[in-house]
Structure 1
Amino acid sequence: MPGVSVITTAAEKPYYAKRPHRKSRTGCRNCKARKVKCDEGRPACRTCTVRKEKCVYTVAATPKPASSPTTTASSSPSPGNEPGPDLALVATHVATVPQQPLFKPSGRDEIDMRLLWFYTTATYTSFSTSGVKERDVDVVLKVNVVQHAFANPFLMDCILALSAMHINWLGVRSMGISRSQEIYYRAKAFETYRKAVAAADPATYQALLVCSLLLCGLSTHLFRGDEAKPLAILDWMILWKGIGQIIEVIKLPALFRSGIAALVFRPDADLNASAQCLPAYLLFMLASIREGDPEYPLVQAYYCALLYLGSLYLELKNGISQLLLLRIVTFPTRLPNTFIDAARAKRPGALVILAHYLVFVKFRVGSCWWLDNISAHEIPSIYNFLGPEWERLLHVPMAALQLDNDRDVARLLLDDSSWDKPTSTVELAIRAAMEDIANDPEALKKKTMEYGLFDPHIAGSPV
């Protein structure tokens, strides 16, 4: 089994060279017998933990104060490892690093705890859209989800697998997680999840819902590397629709009591306004499907999917934001079952709509690293399947593959070469002020106060 050889080597008892140290008068018996300094960790010191020995203290000792919560991302990722320069990559995702777990639950080893620490440090942000007021889920992801994971091993397996995948995506070599270990953890996560679904224990429904969400990120390995396969998006959509089916089983009151309801929040869509934002050629594609065509019974499902696609165009007009990311991520959950069946049957109309959705997936918003390269893999797969005769309807998705700049992709989607919307509140305030300042001397103060950037005690200028 991949990863077994690495895990078993952790059982080897390390040799520590004796070196000068200050006496520890409250250390454990094992450290005293070896005459080595004990770090007095509770419930077991680090030396006994590594050597897998029972740690016993002779007298009650005052616990050591917890480390400062402002430890930076360059701190050591696990006991016994020196900090590596590649851990600086983690700093782009989190400002602070919490203290690592001090205990190992039954059935879990040191590598598991290292991966859990990385999840609470960095990987949880992979599903964070804290810029959306209705969905401030950071605490839910770091606290509630982990609580459910300790009670439901299949969710813990999914968290560890996602962390292993994230570590290798970032290239954090000092965490000591190999590619084979990543594959091992991922296979275990899917296996235990399937067993939990088959058992259908009502007590696990909340954990199953969270696990379904995390698996949508974990399963994106099918779009990259040696494991990639054409049109993997057709299977990926099934995972997203599974989230809605689990919600129907749980019922909303129980979902809110579980403390994880914010994870499945979907912003409302103004479908009438969305319809006005759709490209005319996509609507013409539907109008050209006549009675007798094999796709004619699917026109209504196609139109429903296009309306929700239009909500992405409508949101994009306001700028590239966390709300746009949330609409992109939740789009598959909006698709009617008839549309998904048509896509899985590889009906041309459904594939064309999916190709345009994949253009939005190109946007680099937030920390959804698991969306990376999906479009580059799937848009050519759709084009190759449909053939050159569909090139006219696939012109925009194919053109998007040549663009690396979010602004250029937005201009292509909106067919507006002058589009240049800001992406942050600060930039919005600055640009709005610059537009009005020529006609209104007080415009700068008005706009900066509107965005909360003006201090009335400092005369004349924004802070």
Structure 2
Amino acid sequence: MLRISTHYLHSAIRGHRTAFENFTDGDFEAVYLSAVLITLISTFLMSASDSLDESTAPFDESMWLRLAVGPRELVPVWKTLIQDEHPLTITGALREGPDLSDDAEVFRLEYGRPFDVLLRWATEFDYVSEDDSEAYQHTVSYVGLIYKVINEASEPPLATSRRLIAFPARAPPRFLDLALEKRPRALVILAHVVAMMKILAHSIPWYVGIAEKHIPVIESRLPSGWKPVMQWPMAVLHTIDGRGAPLPVPPNIDEVSPR
């Protein structure tokens, strides 16, 4: 069944790409909603087995990042067509929350402080340009905001799930480039995003198995000098079981354990 559904998905993506490149004002809403659906499906397919068949590429986090950016590319177009309404109102996302449209809020510097180690680690030998530094900072702030609402239980799990599903569309485009280039810092940050899925898996069953599949793979791609900053995702992977285990506290740079 998974093999069949995956082939249907590939056909749908091909059709969506054609519509994406040739849409008119009249069918824009349908194209946008299709992009949202592909975002949802691509997120939950991260738990799928790699062994579908020889013609199907493994569905990894890179494919998730590539497939789930459609809504972001369409929002600016929407604003030129319907200036008094945000496209997310069509899906009910803004009515039910959270509101992810305010960059100043979702990328607030203070949200990233629990994960400051992700920005400070290996700075002496990992050159980061000013643009890349900003991309990392904004992404870590977004991850920190997800951690904050989970830790404080300040919103329903489904609302937090929307933050995770929207990650490829809300993370800075430059961060996605860095992740697709397999830059170690970007991969470690991405592992923290996947760890959030593990935390929500007891409430959102679609996330079951994603962290178990992807966190070890991400760690295996890292140079040895970067593996210590996988401490928090690995702790989440091995301690969160849906039975009330406390949420691991992110380590500061002095608490990161060398391996």
Q: Which TM-score bucket, shorter chain as reference?
A: 0.7 to 0.9
2:206 aligned with 1:370, yes or no?
Answer: yes
Task: Write the letter of the residue equivalent to 1:376.
Answer: E
For 1:331 and 1:247, the matched residues in 2 are separated by 15
CA deviations 1:182-237 (Å, max 9, x no partner) are 24432332222122123223322111111111112323435421249678212312
Secondary structure of the corresponding residue to residue 295 of structure 1: coil
Q: Which runs of 5+ in 1 are unaligned?
A: 1-177, 416-463
For 2:33 and 2:233, the matched residues in 1 are separated by 32
Secondary structure of the corresponding residue to residue 211 of structure 1: helix
Q: Is the 8 Å Cα contact of residues 328 and 361 (structure 1) preserved in structure 2?
A: yes
Cα gap change, 1:336 to 1:201, in 2 (>3 Å)? same
For 1:405 and 1:341, the matched residues in 2 are separated by 33
2:145 aligned with 1:321, yes or no?
Answer: no
Cross-structure match for 1:260? 90
Equivalent runs, 1:80-99 vs 2, <5 Å = none
Task: Write the letter of the residue equivalent to 1:347.
Answer: R
Cross-structure match for 1:300? 134
Looking at both structures, which has the greater relative contact order when contacts are Cα pairs under 8 Å and sequence separation is at least 6?
2
Secondary structure of the corresponding residue to residue 412 of structure 1: coil
Shift in Å, 1:289: 1.8
Shift in Å, 1:336: 0.8
Secondary structure of the corresponding residue to residue 228 of structure 2: coil
Shift in Å, 1:321: 2.8
Shift in Å, 1:401: 2.2
2:246 aligned with 1:399, yes or no?
Answer: no
2:123 aligned with 1:289, yes or no?
Answer: yes
For 2:115 and 2:246, the matched residues in 1 are separated by 13
For 2:177 and 2:57, the matched residues in 1 are separated by 19
Cross-structure match for 1:218? 41
Q: Is the 8 Å Cα contact of residues 379 and 398 (structure 1) preserved in structure 2?
A: yes
Shift in Å, 1:180: 5.2
Cross-structure match for 1:340? 176
For 1:255 and 1:360, the matched residues in 2 are separated by 31
Task: Write the letter of the residue equivalent to 2:207.
Answer: L
For 1:355 and 1:409, the matched residues in 2 are separated by 20
Cross-structure match for 1:247? 75
Cα gap change, 1:224 to 1:393, in 2 (>3 Å)? same
Equivalent runs, 1:63-462 vs 2, <5 Å = 178-179=1-2, 181-219=4-42, 220-221=44-45, 223-225=47-49, 226-227=51-52, 232-251=60-79, 252-253=82-83, 255=85, 260=90, 262-263=92-93, 266-267=98-99, 269=105, 271-276=108-113, 278-285=114-121, 288-290=122-124, 293-297=126-130, 298-319=132-153, 321-322=156-157, 323-364=159-200, 368-406=204-242, 411-413=247-249
Cα gap change, 1:399 to 1:217, in 2 (>3 Å)? same
**TM-score (normalised: structure 2):** 0.75
Q: Is the 8 Å Cα contact of residues 274 and 310 (structure 1) preserved in structure 2?
A: yes
For 2:58 and 2:227, the matched residues in 1 are separated by 18
Task: Write the letter of the residue equivalent to 1:260.
Answer: I
Cross-structure match for 2:254? none
Task: Write the letter of the residue equivalent to 1:321.
Answer: P
Cross-structure match for 2:257? none
Shift in Å, 1:266: 4.3
**TM-score (normalised: structure 1):** 0.45
Cα gap change, 1:409 to 1:188, in 2 (>3 Å)? farther
CA deviations 1:278-317 (Å, max 9, x no partner) are 23422432xx424x84434422211111111111122123
Once superposed, what is the RMSD of the aligned Cα atoms? Answer: 3.1
The structure having more radius of gyration, on CA atoms, is: 1
Aligned residues: 234
